[in-house]
Structure formats: structure tokens, C-alpha cells
Structure 1
Amino acid sequence: MRNRDGLSTEEIEQLDQVRLACPDIARTCDLARVFTGLVRDRRGRLLADWIRQADHSGLIPVAKFAAFLRQDLDAVTAGLTLEWSSGIVEGHVNRVKTTQNKLGRKDLSETKLFQQAFSLDEPKPGQPRLRLMDKDGSDAFRNVHRGPSAFAEGFFAGIRNPNSHTDGLPELPEHEALEQLAALSVLARWVDTVALVTA
């Protein structure tokens, strides 16, 4: 939503005419502008007040949006308050999930996908492999490919799944969250740099 200061005189006049002609649009614009400010300025402490205003606005779509935010109010408030959030982590998770697309394997996810992707076995029809280096029979080749498989298993089992699927975990201190992000970043980098080998 553009700031009113960034509108031309003609745009401001048109907006004012619409706001006068339709009070619902005016209230919707006002609530949207306040919500945009909460997001941009990280004023999550004011979210509960905004939700109350939205609830009493008489605007059904805005009230439904407020009800949706209320379902996970603590997480939304944290996202609008803290300097860091899980958005970066989930972005890396999505990068890692592109492994399914690279392999054309929608039937496997997470640990099993990485175990098959980095398997030392030759690729089979419908079961391609990801390679960080050419297969040369060396210990280096075996280690380079066993590592991502084991690392992925540890990451998904010990970090990503508990953080994504377990309620009531304490908020991580920033240094631990950054360590976990670094671990995911390593896995995502491997996915970005592999070669796909098919049968």
C-alpha cells in the first residue's frame, strides 16, 4: 500500500472521492494503512488493538483476516516485533525442498529423499542421484555423498521437524536460531550445487 505522501494530487483527489462515496472503502483503507505500519515499523505490541478495531469495523473480510491472525497471535506478534523470524529459515527449507523437483520424486520427502538422492548406488529409472563430484570410487566420493545424507537426517529430525511441528517449545535464543539457520544454509548450498545424474 502506497503512502499517501507518494500519491500525486490527482490520485489523492480520486482517493478522497472514493472514500466519501463509500465509507466501507474508507474504513478498509484506514485499517490496511495502520496494519501496514505495524508490519513496516515492527509494532507487534499494537496488533491486539488493531484486531479489536478490525473486529468492530463491520467489514466482514477484514474481520475474517483479524480472526485468522488471532489463531496464532503469539507467533504473529513475534513476527511483527522481533528483528529476526523464521521466514529466512522457511526460505531455506523451500530451497531444500526443491530437491523433490530436481529428482522428480514427489513420493519421498526429507530424510528418505536425501538418503536416496545422495545414495552411492548407481541411478535407476525413476531414481536419479545428486552428485557433488564425479564418481571415481574414492573414499572422498563416498564421504562427500554420505555426508549430506547423514546431515539431512540430523537436520530434519533434530532441528526442522521439532521446530515446525512441536507446540510449546521455548523461543530459541538468537545465537541458537542463527546456528540452526547456518546448518540449514549448508544443506541448501549442497542442493544448489549438485549435478543430477539419471539412469
Structure 2
Amino acid sequence: MSGELLTKSKIADALGTNPMRVTRFIERNKINAVKKEGKRELFKLTDFNALKKELSEPETKKEAQSHAFSKDDYILTLKKQLEDQQKQFDEVLKSKDETIDSLKETIATSKHVYEDMKDQLTVKDNQITALTKLTNNAQTLNLVDKDPKRLQTAQGNAEMKPEQSSSEKAANNQQTSESEKPRQNWWQRHFGRNK
């Protein structure tokens, strides 16, 4: 076995230590691999006599045992990590469900508020329509109180299609009366009245 080429883990098994210790020894002593097969590095066991001697010393043996990490310990550690992750995951799911429920309640409340506002707008529209009718009726009554003939004239004009509005008629009447007056020049208009 001493002439065989071994991987780090095989050397660790042969020396009764862990692969990490072998790796540290390789780095510290700058031992080069004799052969490489893909990613695996192969070493001679004889290159590790110094490590074997280190491990055989009583203090180092105790230290190695205290640092040794068995497969059972490793499995227990992994199980604990998985349980912790599962707890975190469950808490995240619970929080997510609470957030979704809260959002659903907010949406339901918003819909209710929207429907209330819609109803209020309908009521306002009805009130505006009613007020407009009342305003029109009040104006009509006001006209009747002032001049009943005006109401009849306004109703008559509304029934017939007027070709001209009342303001257009007034403007035409004024133009007609001005055209019938004798023309005066500027001097006469301003200074003729003083005479």
C-alpha cells in the first residue's frame, strides 16, 4: 500500500484522520500530486510520514479526535438545518397567507366604498335634475308675475321658428331709425347742439 497512489480521503482513512487535515497538511508542506485523474489528485502515502508522526503524538491524537467529525454527527447537523429551514418556510407561508387575507379584505372594503360613492353620485344627479326643473319653473313664474303678456309672447316665439332672435331684431330696429335721420357731419354733431 505504501507504493500505491491514493486520494486525499483514502490517505485520511489510512492515517485515521479526516480529509480536511490531509488537505491542510498538503497546503502547509506544498506537496504536489503525483498524478491527476480528472479532478482527483493522487498522492504517495510515503509523502505523509510526517503527518503520520504528528498524529501518533498523544496531544495531536486528542486534538484530532476532538476535531473528528463523524458521519452521524454530519447527518444530525444536516437534519437540524433542514428542520430550521422548514420552520422558516412555514413562517413565510403563514405570513403570505395573512397578507393575502388582508388584501382580500381591503379589496372587499374598497368595492363597498365604490358602490356607496356610485349610489351617492346617482342621488346627486337626481337632485341636480330636480333643482334644474325647479329653477326653470321659478324663472317662468317670475316672468308671469312681472308681465303676463311676455309669457304668452315667449311661448308663441318658442312655438314658431323665429328667423331672428330678439337681440338681432332690436339691433335692426336701431339701424333703421338711425338711417332715417338726416346725416350730420362731425362738427354739427358735436357743436351743433350748443347753438
TM-score, normalised by the number of residues in structure 2: 0.17
Report the structure, 1 or 2, having the larger helix content: 2
Bigger CA radius of gyration:
2
Pick 1 or 2: higher relative contact order, CA cutoff 8 A, min separation 6: 1
TM-score, normalised by the number of residues in structure 1: 0.17
